[in-house]
Amino acid sequence: MTVPLLEVRDLVKHYRAHGTVIRAVDGVSLDIAAGETLGLVGESGSGKSTVGRTVLRLEPLTSGSVRFDGNDLGSLSSAALRATRRRMQLVFQDPGGALNPRRRVGDAIAEGMRIHRTVAPGAIRDRVIALLEEVGLAASDADKRPHQFSGGQRQRIGIARALAVEPALLVCDEPVSALDVSVRAQVLNLLLELRERRALAYLFIAHDLAVVQQVAHRVAVMYLGTIVETGQARTVIGAPRHPYTRALVSAIPHPDPARASERIVLAGEQPSPAKPPPGCPFEPRCFHPAKDARCRHERPALEGLGERRVACHHERVD
């Protein structure tokens, strides 16, 4: 088997706040192959964004390992890490805040090329224009400032800036959830086109399963710092096994009002990551008919066949 582009093993990220430990990410493992898209789905507080930020080493991890292209990021010197960062880039949720309001758009896009000296200074301008055109903007936009653009256009600028350093992996953290509905599809389509043309891999983080299934080959569903179900996007969404995934799938908007009433309404709320339940993290809200004492005391492992795995004492993948 070939080495995956990104290999995350037992990633743990704990924060300390006011004397308590917040277990934001509590043992997450995932792989992404070159050119592949993994959708990481979960609600706020599930730890999905923290996974993205620790994978990029924007935050240090508590334990576990992140290997990119076979290299353990934890063992790299800070200079080597900066060089590796060229190959893994970030697309933000808030395209406005991700752009420095004082810098011209062309300057922002050129920044990565200047840092890594991948393009001769005289050729930078042409590259910037080519990138702007690649993401559907005009050459003349290079001299404008971020506030002159709509949300969708700013997201295109953010994508162009990330592409400027020729990455192999894009971590997209809720890339369309701040955009108007009629504009979301444009940005999703752009990401799909770029993936095809540039053979990009995506770690696509989102709370919206409907959006994720549109772009992801595989999905991993997170709940309270752990992955509760993973597999091919089509299988997980078409035949979810974990009760939490089933509730999420049932919440996907359905254009047929008759079918929408099959929605599963979960009781209660996600517990605080400062006080996770001792057993299965989903146990307090679980509606599985076989739920028992074991669920309350023992955390189920993520088990299954190949890439299809479920963390539930009463669901097996076979």
Partner 1 sequence: MTPLLEVTNLSIGFANPEPITAVDDVSFRIDRSEVIALVGESGCGKTLTGLAIPGLLPSEARTSAGSRVVLDGNDLVGMPEAARRRIRGARIAMVFQDPQASLNPVMRVGDQVIEAIRAHGPVPRAEARTRAAALLEEVGIADAAARLDAWPHELSGGMRQRVMIAIALAGEPDLLIADEPTTALDVTIQAQILELLDRLRRARGLAVLLITHDLGIVASRADRVLVMYAGRIIESAPTAELFRVPRHPYTRGLLAAVPRVDAPESRLEAIAGSVPQPGRWPPGCRFHPRCPVAIARCGTEAPSMEPAEGPHHTACWVATGAGS
Partner 2 sequence: MMASARAGLGCAAAIAALALLGPPLAGDPLAQPDPLGSSLLAPSGAHWFGTDQFSRDVFARLAHGARTSLAIAAIAMAVAGVLGIAFGLLAGSGRGLVAATMSRVVDLALALPRVVVLLVLVAAIGALPPAGLGAVLGLTGWPAIARLVRGEALALQHAGYVTAARALGATPGRVLVREILPGTLPPALIALTLGVADVLLLEAGLSFLGIGVRPPTPTWGSMILEARPHLGQAPWLLLAPGIALVIATAAATLLGDALRHRIAGDRA
Burial class (CB in 10 A: 0-12, 13-18, 19+), 182: exposed
At its nearest, how many Å lie between partner 1 and the CB of residue 252? 5
* Amino acid code (one letter) for 38: L
User: Using the 8-state DSSP alphabet, how is residue 302 labeled?
Assistant: -
Instruction: Check binding of 86 to partner 2 (CB under 8 A).
Output: yes
Q: How many CA atoms lie within 13 A of 225 on its CB side?
A: 23
At its nearest, how many Å lie between partner 1 and the CB of residue 126? 27
φ, ψ (nearest 5 deg) of residue 253: -55, 135
Instruction: Check binding of 48 to partner 2 (CB under 8 A).
Output: no
Q: Closer to partner 1 by CB, 115 or 178: give it.
A: 178
Instruction: Check binding of 80 to partner 2 (CB under 8 A).
Output: no
Q: Which does 49 bind (CB under 5 to 8 A by kind): partner 1, partner 2, none?
A: none
Q: For residues 33 and 201, give the distance between their C-alpha atoms in angstroms, rounded to a whole number.
A: 7
Which window, 17-25, 84-92, 182-190, 211-219, contacts partner 2 (CB under 8 A)? 84-92
Taking CB under 8 A as the criterion, the residue among 89, 155, 213, 226 binding partner 2 is: 89
Task: Give the pairing of strands 201-206 and 218-223.
Answer: unpaired
Cβ 206 vs Cβ 252: under 8 Å:
no
At its nearest, how many Å lie between partner 2 and the CB of residue 17? 16
Q: Which does 266 bind (CB under 5 to 8 A by kind): partner 2, partner 1, none?
A: partner 1
Taking CB under 8 A as the criterion, the residue among 31, 43, 69, 111 binding partner 2 is: 111
Q: How far is CA 286 from CA 242, 266, 292, in A?
A: 10, 8, 10
Task: Enumerate binding residues for partner 2 (CB under 8 A).
Answer: 56, 58, 82-83, 85-86, 89-90, 92, 94, 96-103, 108, 111-112, 115-116, 158, 161, 165
